Structures are given as structure tokens and as C-alpha cells.
Structure 1
């Protein structure tokens, strides 16, 4: 076991619990003596604030309202992970287990000087070609699976960025651009190996702990730490080639563009994915629309499907075919590299919609334009409108999983971004974010605000996050599997509902 300003977890836990700051342990001989008496695998590391190791194990994609930690532990084995959980619960030490550290819900900020369980050692990626399955460790990010899956001749549901942890995205539902063809990421999930609140290691699947399997597919962060997950792979569509058209539309064309989006209320063709960014162009000094339309299928079909948007005559058009494993990192003008930068403040509000409203988009365009004008330090902010087909997602019965919003066609993300501390900007973005969220929700086609759990701001109601029908069963399972609510920082469930 290696260390950086480190001690054994047992010592760290007792010191933390008694109120003695772990950072006061500066005598190296004492640290080494305690270290030697412990029985941890050589790969396990423990770090404290002030060390490079600690920073590397706790740096988040989002610096807005983050959790804070007194100690970071990186278990090197499953047995050490079990020990970590048992020690933390025995000493009432609050903790978070993290893979990609991409989550941005503000509920995470309720963890103050707790324990960071860093899963970075659980990073294996295994493709079984004969079984057509993918098994990954709990810390694997999407970018880690692209090449192995593609080179084996398969593809799988994916998110919209390369940097989030794949398991973390799965647990909240796993929406993505190919919901019309492959469904949600939870629809590909076959099984999980999980460390529960009691420190047990359990196998979770349709046949083993099926109730827990139901809950993990849509509310999984509430029920345990995923050591590994196995997914069903899909055969490549069109030999894994995806047509992408990246386009720019000036401000004066926003009305016609949003009118076109509204036309997809009738039906989104199952092979189409439409991503539209309202963002600030520093060269021309105003807002514009950057659109990325993708088609999973033959190129001639894709070009025919894109005909309506081409007819709007964008000021810039770049049409390319990307292999499945490169479409996220290379499509959309390479915006993935920018989006994945860690350490910025992201104050984010999200609204699911099963109805697309051109009028709402036009109003939002006007308001974000005014925001850019008045807040030059936050011009990296944007509104992302993701329209995904959902035929395959809807083919799975709603009752089959805990995820509540399979009928969503548009995911509207209001994303305010800036660097450094700025309380004035925080107040401005919070007010505008809530206003825009309310306006989007009013025309969403749902009777109340509905949010994709992985994109929840954190101030939404339980019903808005999980849907009314699912909550009683989820609460009952929470009481069974985590009665003390040790998993309580990521949009936590109660143990009773109502």
C-alpha cells in the first residue's frame, strides 16, 4: 500500500470521528507504524488535503457547490472496498463513491468534510465477443470503451460526452442519441456486482435480487457501490458508420430553425439525433445556433433525413461520416474536448419534454442573448437542446425499470459556466436558470416539471426526479437495502413515501 500524507483507513476513520484533523498527522514514523499493522492490498492508497494525490483523486468536472472531503481512499481490491464501507458506516463517517466524478447535482454539496471513496482502480474493460457482452469496472468512462467495443464489431448505447463514468450514467437511466434504435443504456444492462450499505457484495440481475435490479436501473446511486457492470452489446448498424452534419445558424435564423424542431413533435425518425447549442460567438459578438444532426444508418438515408435542415441554408455546413467509436469525440466540431474540461463552475437546470415548443425556444434564445451581453465572464454558458428518437426505449415496458420518463423526446439543458468565485454571477444564473426551467416545463407536455435524474439541479421534488408511480416501491426498497440512508447525497430517496 502506498501513501501521500497518508495513514491507514482505520486510523483515519477514528481520528476523523473524534474530531482530530487527519492533516495533523505529520510524524512519518507514526504514519508508517500504523500503516504496517494494517492489512490492505498494495494497490490501496489514502490521501489527505494538501497532496497532489488527494487532488487527483477528488478533482471534479463541476466546481459549483461541490462536496468536500477530509480524506480520500482509493481501494485497490474489492475486499478493501468492503472494508472501507464497513469502517465508514461503523464510525458514522459520511461518504461518496465516485467513478468519473462528473455528476453535478447540488445535493452532492451537502457532504462536508467526508470520505471520498475513489474507484479509479476499478477500471477494467472486457469484451466477450462470443457472448456479445461488455463488462466494465465501476470507474470506467465512456471514452475507455469506444475502441474495444468498436474493434470487436459491436456498439452500445452511449451518452453525449466521452468523460462521464459509464456506470454513473447508467444508474440514472442512460439516455443518449440512439434511443430510437437501441433504447436506453439501462436496457442493455445485464448484471451488476454491488457493495451494499451493510458491506455485503451481492450479484444483481433479473434473476438475482431482481427488485434491486429494477431499482438500480434509474435510481441506482441510492442503493450501493457498483464494482462492475455487464452489458449486452449490439451489432453495428451500417458497419458502425454514422453520418454527422455540423451546422451554424446566425441569430436571425433562430425562428425558422426552432420552427423546424417543433415539426418533430409528430415523430422523430428512429435513426436521427439532433443536438442544438445556443451559444455565444466571440467573433461576431452575439448568440448563434450550433447544430449537430447525426444519423445512424446508410448515408443516403441520412442525407434525405437532413433535407429539411439543409433547406434552411446554414451559414456553415460540415458533413462527415464518423466511425461509431469516434463520433462523440470528433463530431459536433470537437466540442467534447471543451465540454469535458474539469474544474469550471456549472450551474445547470434541465427539463424533459415530450412536446417541442418553438415559442419557448425563441423566448429562451432572446433571454440568453441578453445574459451574454450583460455577463461577459459567463459567455461560455449555453442552452443545449437534445432531441432523440425513442422508439426502442418505448418498446421496453415502463414498469420494467425505475426510470420514469421513457416518452421524453427533448432534453433541454440550461448550462451556465464560468471560472472562479463570483457570488453575483451565481445569483444571476440561479434566477435566470429557474425562470427558464419554469418556462420550459410549462410547455413540455408533462403536467409538472420532469427531469432526467443525471441532469437534475438538485432542488427539484422527488416526484419531478423519480415520477409519482415509482416512488412507493423505491422507498420500500431503500428501507430494505439502506435503512440508515448511507447513500444519501445523490438525489436521495426516502425510506417511506408518501
Structure 2
């Protein structure tokens, strides 16, 4: 006996088949793109701006777009996009997201944490060419691009009668330093670099460009001031400036205390606390160098580094171990990096603005905390 099908059921089955074929075709398209990413990115249909560069391994342009100050736990890339316009930054983020290809956005390639090494065979989005400095003397603000370093802003601000807190070195991108805090020689006077941040132009995970400031997306402004790499791409940032003090003259002095003078060292620090114009940084940042492939030395250096860190932790004076975000190595707990108090709010905002973890390689945190 043959049972006749109702027209509704037949149409439903047909629709299901069409959906299945569509999904399979989409999967095949993505697979094809991943197999020939070069052709896809350089296809004229992409309509990149004339000053946007697409580069690939073994080329000078690719090396310039991906070179880092350290090769320890480096990410690896199949292609690099150096956008020349803000619109092309948006396009690059949307393309990588739609193709499900991991990507990392950099300003001046000074990122540090080892979690960046989790990115394998991705796309580099290089913003080092976004070098612009727009000074508003009346408003006492400066707006900069992600390729601007701390060293780039010193002279223009000095000549206009202003100063701003920076990080501890002149070569990293100022915006990148801001997103992780920004600790430097003016911290004792003006606070962290993030304290000077007024607003940013931010490309979020959905590919939309948003103005973020105190009265517009204040939740994002709070989040990016310390955890910014997890919430989007900053294409420009505006900072509040401070009037130049003492005509810009600063005394920088090094004090060297031998080990047997440790008690005198701490007494000197206590004395310096009375002067809010003095920034001091007890201790040193040891750099350990070894040849590529020398795993024995690498493992020994890593073990020594952890031992030194533990020694400092026990004498830090904090009830619970913590690390400054810009200096996090990536093997610390989230509580040590972002603090137990901040994580619930950060996780909630991550769920709101980046639920699919589009930005997921810089000390990432979950969309729920504590995790279920």
C-alpha cells in the first residue's frame, strides 16, 4: 500500500533539503577560501583602498607587518593586512570573522603575553601605519592613531606646553599600552595612562564602528581601560593632557644599592613616598636571551623566571598575588590579572559585546564568572 504525502509535508522536506544543500555549499566555500587565502584576499572584488597592503610569508611587507620585539611564543600567520583606512580595518575584521580565521590586531608589535602564541595560522591586522597626532589646545586633548608611539608625542606636546603620562618605554604604541594600564614615570603625578583616556573609536566584534566615551557606551569605556584587547579594535584614542610642569625639565637619577644595604634601600623608598613628584620603580626587569631551538636554555630561563616571580610575590605586600595587566605572562590565574572583583562585570560585558570570542588571544576571560 502506498501512502500519499500531504503537500505541506512535501514542501517541508523540500525546504529542509534546500537548507542542507545551502549549508554544505557555504562550508565548501569557506573551505575553498581557506585553501587559497591569497587569491581571496587579493581578488579585486575586495576593493581595498590604494594604501592598504596585503602581504604573505617570505615577503618584506609581511615581515614588517608581523615582526615582534620578542619571538618567544609568537603567533603564526598565513597573511597580513595593513589597512590604509578605517573602512578597511572594518572590512578586515568582518572578513576574518566570516571565514572563521583567527586574527590579531597590533599597533607597534610590542605585545608581550604568551597567550598570543595560541594563535596559529591566522591573519595579522597591522595598524602601525595609522600614525596621526591631532592636538586640540583649547580642549587640552590629543587624538592619536594606533601606530603612534610614546616617543612620537613627546615633542609635539612639549612644544604646545603639555605633557602626558606614558608607559615605561618610548617605543610601544601608546594606545596598546593604554589598553593594559600604562605604568610609567608620571604615574605618581598623573596616574596611569588609562586615567587620561577620554574616548576611543572602537570596532566591536559585530564589525560596527562605535564612539566610546563617558556618556556613550560607558560600560565599554570602563572595560577597555585595562582589558581593551578583549573588546575590539581601537582605531583612534583621545587623551586629556596636563600642563607642562617645570618647563619640561625632569631629573632622572639611578640609585644603586648593594645587597648588604637592603635595609637602607627600603628606608630610602619610605622617604621618597613623601614626594609625589617622584616616580620610583624598585627592582629590575631581567631579560633572558637564548638561541632559537635551544630548548634547554629556554626551559631553564622559564624556571628561573617563575622562581623570581614567586620570590617577589611573597614580598609584594599584597594579601593576594596580583600582576599588572601589561606585564602578565599569561600563565597567571585570571584573578591575578583582572582581580576577582572585576571579573564578574568583565565576563558580563564580554558576553554582551563579544559572545563568540572574536577577540580571544590576549589573556582572554570567559563570558560567565564564576564559570558554571
**Is 1:493–2:354 an aligned residue pair?**
no
For 2:310, the equivalent position in structure 1 comes to 438
**In the TM superposition, what are the counterparts of 1:276-355 in structure 2 within 5 Å?**
none
**Alignment of structure 1 residues 84-233 onto 2, 5 Å:** 84-233=92-241
Q: CA deviation at 1:443?
A: 1.5
> How many equivalent pairs are there?
341
Distance in structure 2 (CA, Å) of the matches to 1:160 and 1:91:
38
2:260 paired residue number: 255
What is the CA–CA distance in structure 2 between the aligned matches of 1:433 and 1:477, rounded to whole Å? 33
Counterparts of 1:275 and 1:17 in 2: how far apart (Å)?
A: 53
Name the SS of the counterpart of 1:429 in structure 2: helix
Question: Compared with structure 1, are the counterparts of its residues 273 and 444 closer, same or farther at alpha carbon in structure 2 (3 Å cutoff)?
Answer: same
2:52 to 44, 47, 52: 44
Structure showing greater radius of gyration is: 2
Contact 2:83 2:127 survives alignment (8 Å): yes
Separation of aligned partners in 2, 1:16 and 1:162: 43
Q: 1:141 to 1:92 in 2, by over 3 A?
A: same
TM-fit CA distance, 1:132: 0.9
Report the 3-state secondary structure (helix = DSSP H, G, I; strand = E; otherwise coil) of the residue aligned with 1:187.
helix
Partner of 1:237: 245
Deviation at 1:177, TM superposition (A): 1.4
Q: CA 1:91/1:262 → structure 2, altered by over 3 Å: closer, same or farther?
A: farther
Q: CA deviation at 1:415?
A: 3.2
DSSP 3-state at the match of 2:253: strand
Structure 2 unmatched runs, 5+:
1-28
With the length of structure 2 as denominator, give the TM-score of the two structures: 0.87
2:279 is the counterpart of 1:273: yes
* Aligned with residue 20 of structure 1, among 35, 38, 55: 35
189-198 or 438-447: which moved more? 438-447
Instruction: Give the Cα separation in 2 of the matches to 1:189 and 1:174.
Output: 11
Q: CA deviation at 1:130?
A: 1.4
Distance 1:265 1:245, change over 3 A: closer
Per-residue CA shift, 1:397-433, capped at 9, x if unaligned? xxxxxxxxxxxxxxxx443233433111111011111
Contact between 2:103 and 2:124, CA under 8 Å: does it hold in 1? yes
Contact kept? 2:200, 2:238, Cα under 8 Å: yes
1:248-270 Cα deviation digits (max 9, x unpaired) = 56xxx232156313542576221
Match of 2:354 in 1: 482
TM-score by length of 1: 0.65
Change in CA separation of 1:17 and 1:127 when aligned onto 2, cut-off 3 Å? farther
Q: Residue 336 of structure 2: which of 452, 464, 468 is its match?
A: 464
After superposition, the Cα gap between the structure-2 partners of 1:414 and 1:37, relative to the gap in structure 1 and judged at 3 Å, is same
| Other structure's SS at 2:336 match | helix
Relative to structure 1, the CA distance from residue 230 to residue 146 in structure 2 (aligned partners, 3 Å threshold; closer, same or farther) is same
1:417 matches 2:297: no
What stretches of structure 1 of length at least 5 have no aligned partner? 1-13, 277-382, 385-412
The one-character-per-residue Cα deviations of 1:39-84 (angstroms, maximum 9, x if unpaired) are 2211111000010110011000111010010000011111111111
Is this contact kept in 1: 2:66–2:124, CA < 8 A? yes
Structure (1/2) with the larger strand percentage = 1
Aligned match of 1:429: 301
Aligned to 1:74: 82
Q: Deviations over 1:288-335 (max 9, x none)?
A: xxxxxxxxxxxxxxxxxxxxxxxxxxxxxxxxxxxxxxxxxxxxxxxx
| Aligned partner of residue 273 in structure 1, secondary structure | coil
Residue-by-residue CA offset, 1:175-228 (whole Å, 9 max, x unaligned):
111222111111111000000110000011111100110111111111000000
1:112-145 Cα offsets, whole Å, 9 max, x none, are: 0100000123111111111111100112111111
CA distance in 2, matches of 1:16, 1:440: 49
**Superposition deviation, residue 244 in structure 1:** 1.9
- CA contact 2:30–2:99 (8 Å) conserved in 1: no
| Distance of aligned partners of 1:266 and 1:443 in 2 relative to their CA distance in 1, 3 Å threshold | farther
Distance 1:221 1:152, change over 3 A: same
User: Alpha carbons of 1:497 and 1:265: their partners in 2 closer, same or farther (altered >3 Å)?
Assistant: farther
* Superposed displacement of residue 434, structure 1: 0.9
| Whole-angstrom CA distance in 2 between matches of 1:17 and 1:89 | 16
